[in-house]
Each structure stands twice: as C-alpha cells, then as structure tokens.
Amino acid sequence: MAGEAQDSNWPLPKFYFSVDWGSTTDIPFQEVSGLEIEAQPIEYRHGNSPVFSTINMPGIIKNSHVTMKKGVFVNDNAFWDWYNQIKMNTIERQNVVIKLLDESGSPTMTWTLNNAWPSKISSTDLKSDANEVAVESIEISHEGLTITNG
C-alpha cells in the first residue's frame, strides 16, 4: 500500500559483471554461462540391509565447462594466444574470477574457476546481410568452482 516502507531486499540483476584472468583484468564479456557443479550420485546397498532398496551417496564432483562470449576487437588475440599453448603442451592454467557487481561496481558474488584452461574456441559466424556485432566464444575447463559473497 502507499505510504508503507518498501522492502530494500531485491534480487540482483545479472547484466552487470566482470571477468578477470591472469594478468588480464576486466575483460568485457557479453555472456557467461555454465557456472555449475554437480555431485554424481552413487547407488549403494549394503549386504545386510533389511530394506530392499538402495541408498544414494554423493560421489565424484563433476565440473561443467564454462562458456564466455565477447565481441571481436581489432588485434585482440587473447583467446587464441592462450589456446595455442595447448599445441606445445605448455598450457598455462589460470584462475578465472567472475564477479557479479552491484550498482556501485562492488562485487556482491564471486565465482572462481581454479586451474582453468581453454578447451574450445568458436569464432564468429559471417553473413553478408547481417548487422550484428561479431561475437567469439571460449569454453573453459577447470578443476573446481568456488563461490564467495561480498
């Protein structure tokens, strides 16, 4: 109703974020997806169980690949330079930090991908009748996801 104190607890918008990796900070990405981890269930039934069913236990943790998309810029080969290190088996694993920011630019939630490396790069598609921005994407494999607040 009008005149009542308004609740100041609102969900955060997802459009204001930043991505940092290695010495490169604040890369202007358009989209980040795949921030998921999952514990694969193990079904188990011990031999003397009086119940004729299995129980579920947490098993191996599975980290999903994280996909990031950004616009293509002139002389910006950061994705390709990082990916090309795979050929010589000298891949430089880096921690990738993704921050969800509030209206003042302060991080409210942070996802850290530990020991990340690029597993796939996709260049933009090309169309002679298109009027969109050229967008490239990188798929990142990692060894663990850490989530912190504030």
Strand partners, 149: 109
Average confidence score pLDDT of the chain: 87
Which H helix or E strand runs over 99? strand 94-101
Record the tokens describing residue 146, joined without a space: 């850490």
Looking at residue 140, its pLDDT comes to 94
Pairwise pLDDT comparison (6 vs 97), residue with the higher score: 97
Q: What CATH number should be reported for the domain holding residue 126?
A: 2.30.110.20
- Note whether 108 and 101 are within 8 A (CB): yes
Domain count, the chain: 1
The answer to the question of residue 86 being in a domain is yes
Residue with the two structure tokens 């494999």: 141
3-13 pLDDT tens trace: 566 567 778 88
Q: Which domain holds residue 82?
A: 17-32+63-149
pTM, rounded to two decimals: 0.82
